[in-house]
Amino acid sequence: MVSNDSFDAGPVIEPVQEPVQEASVVSEASSNELPMGTDGTLLYAGREEKVLEIVHAGQRWAFKYKDLSWGQKNACIDEAQQWDATEGFKFSVSKYYAAALTRMLTDTPINPITEATLNNLDRVIGEKLIALVPQPVEQNVEEIKKA
């Protein structure tokens, strides 16, 4: 059970991740320097399990997780959308993060991982967990300001 008592969450041990190799559009000049890809399996999302350790209440807590694939992220976005005949379209950020974390977290000190259990976590723990989740819309802020 999660307590709402005041306490210092202490230091957080962030997950160790290998550098992400971003997909990019290559200019014609540099494309000749790279070999042409032949193994299509390299285009799929990696599903290796990672660990986020959080120090909380004088103890270490391990949260094992896997990154979302492109399709899983889109499914989370779909789950977070609502349509109301009077108010129109709504997007629930909290539902998005809950949907993503229930898919991503594979082994945690809290079982079961549901939207309800996630909503009852200490704010500091919740913020560390949502840092693992990709933003629902990844758009350059400067582009948004110009629009």
| Domain presence at residue 2 | no
> Given this model, what pLDDT does residue 32 score?
76
Helix (H, G, I), strand (E, B) or coil at 105: strand
| pLDDT of residue 95 exceeding 70 | yes
Which residues are CB-neighbours of 48 under 8 A, at least 6 positions away? 66
Q: Give a yes or no: residue 93 inside a domain.
A: yes
Per-state percent for the chain, helix, strand, coil, to nearest 5 = 35, 20, 50
Q: Is residue 45 part of a domain?
A: yes
Q: Which domain holds residue 49?
A: 12-16+24-136
- Residue 7 is assigned to a structural domain of this protein: no
Rounded distance, CA 27 to CA 109, Å? 47
Q: What is the pLDDT at residue 31?
A: 65
What is the number of domains present in the chain? 1
Give pTM, 2 decimals. Answer: 0.69
CB 97 within 8 A of CB 133: yes
Q: Is residue 141 part of a domain?
A: no
Mean pLDDT of 101-105: 96
Residue 121 lies in a domain: yes
- List pLDDT tens digits, range 28-81: 556 678 999 999 988 888 779 999 999 999 999 999 999 999 999 999 999 999
Q: How many CA atoms lie within 13 A of 31 on its CB side?
A: 8
The whole-chain average pLDDT of the chain stands at 81
| Residue 108 belongs to some domain of the structure | yes
Identify whether the C-beta of residue 81 lies closer than 8 Å to the C-beta of residue 89.
Answer: yes
Percentage of residues in the chain with pLDDT exceeding 70?
73
DSSP annotation of 39: -
- pLDDT band of 140, cuts 50, 70, 90: low
- Within-domain flag for 146: no
Report how far Cα 94 is from the mean position of its chain's Cα atoms: 12
Q: What is the pLDDT of residue 85?
A: 87
